[in-house]
Amino acid sequence: MAGRRGGLQALIKRVSPNVQWTHCMIHREALASKQLSPDLHDVMTDVITTVNYIKTRPVKARIFSALCEEMGSDHTAVLFHSESRWLSRGKVLSRVFELRDEIRIFLEEEENELVHKFNNNKFLMKLAYLSDMFQKLNELNLQMQGSNTHLPHLADKITSFTRKLEMWEQRVTEGNIDSFENLKSFIEVNKLQNTVIPCMKAHISALQKHFQRYFPVQDPTQYDWIRDPFSATPPAEFSTTENEQFIDVTSDSTMRLEFKSKTLAAFWIGVEKDFPLLGKRALATLLPFATSYLCEIGFSAVASIKTKYRSKLDIENELRVAVSQLQPRFEKICSMKQAHTSH
């Protein structure tokens, strides 16, 4: 549908040849982290099966909740897994690992065959590792969310995470698992030998390859002149006029002060007024939507406003208010209305 030859991209570029096409970076991150090795995939499958066994039966869900309360657990329920939710996998794994003892006791009472998994230390070590790794992936995902994100900012986040992957692989090869808190704690408390290092190495190595596939390596300095023009050098592809405007901007002490007090976008919008070529080139990088975050906000607003009890509601005005960043001036609105009192 979005093909560059006969799909949406091609149709749009026929009308506007200079348009840029971007793929949501959060979606790419989700795709890069989706693949699991057979061993870890089996663990994920068992976790989802366990969660469904508890959650899809109201009576069992209540029994499990009561068991958690009796044991003084911080949480009394496991979470459903949803492929369409960015943070779902990490939250499900973390909750199941946290409630592993409660789940084991519950499955023993139910005489469910999955109890053998929660009595298996190797399975629990893999579960601990997955909960740690997907917690890190969730943190990356959250860092990439927001209404004022742009390509240079998110490119830095991806570069940082890929460098961490390299460091984690090296540390795991050396037998150091300090970066994986749940796994380290589980091994120390139960005085176990870490037998899942090969599995961890394979997964981290696969993650690196997937991130390289979805985020091809680019020159890390290509956006430096936009991030901090007063400390960077102009790119070699600048024209003579652009170089002259770059010198004018970086020599202006007033603009240097403005750069420290404004957001990146606001600064370059101001630059464009006086130096149109340079400002336009910077904004061409900052303007494209780096993620589909704003669309997701709209979908969430629709889901919360238009429920099954209000399925025929025309929500155009309500949706505009829900997604707007403008703060309503309630005092002014109220002052324009006449108050009615009854005696």
Give average pLDDT by consecutive 10-residue segment, the chain, 343 residues: 73 81 88 90 93 90 90 87 82 93 92 92 93 94 88 91 94 91 92 86 94 86 90 90 93 91 91 92 88 85 79 77 80 76 58
In this prediction, residue 343 carries a pLDDT of 55
Tokens found for residue 321:
């208010």
Query: Which of these three, 214, 236, 256, is where a domain ends?
Result: 214
In a domain, residue 168? The reply is: yes
pTM of the model: 0.84
Whether residues 43 and 156 share a domain: the answer is yes
Quickly list DSSP for 102-165: HHHHHHHHHT-TTHHHHT-HHHHHHHHHHHHHHHHHHHHHHHH-STT--HHHHHHHHHHHHHHH
Whether residues 99 and 132 share a domain: the answer is yes
Whether residues 237 and 148 share a domain: the answer is no
Whether residues 237 and 210 share a domain: the answer is no
End-to-end CA distance of the chain: 65
Please state, as a whole number, how many other Cβ atoms lie within 10 Å of the Cβ of residue 16.
8
In a domain, residue 326? The reply is: no
Query: Which of these three, 190, 214, 238, is where a domain ends?
Result: 214
Whether residues 192 and 232 share a domain: the answer is no
Whether residues 100 and 179 share a domain: the answer is yes
In a domain, residue 262? The reply is: yes
In this prediction, residue 2 carries a pLDDT of 66
* Secondary structure (3-state) at 43: helix
In a domain, residue 323? The reply is: no
Domain membership of residue 173 as a residue range = 25-214
* CA dist., res. 87 & res. 33, Å (int): 11
User: Is the CB of residue 292 less than 8 Å from the CB of residue 141?
Assistant: no
* Secondary structure (3-state) at 276: helix
In this prediction, residue 1 carries a pLDDT of 58
Domain count along the chain: 2
Per this entry, what is the length of the chain? 343
Residues whose CB falls within 8 Å of the CB of residue 130, separated by 6 or more in sequence, listed in order = 40, 43, 44, 93
Which sign does the torsion angle of CA 235, 239, 242, 244 carry?
positive
Whether residues 172 and 154 share a domain: the answer is yes
In this prediction, residue 143 carries a pLDDT of 92
Whether residues 266 and 120 share a domain: the answer is no
The single-letter DSSP state of residue 259 is H
Whether residues 39 and 148 share a domain: the answer is yes
In a domain, residue 89? The reply is: yes
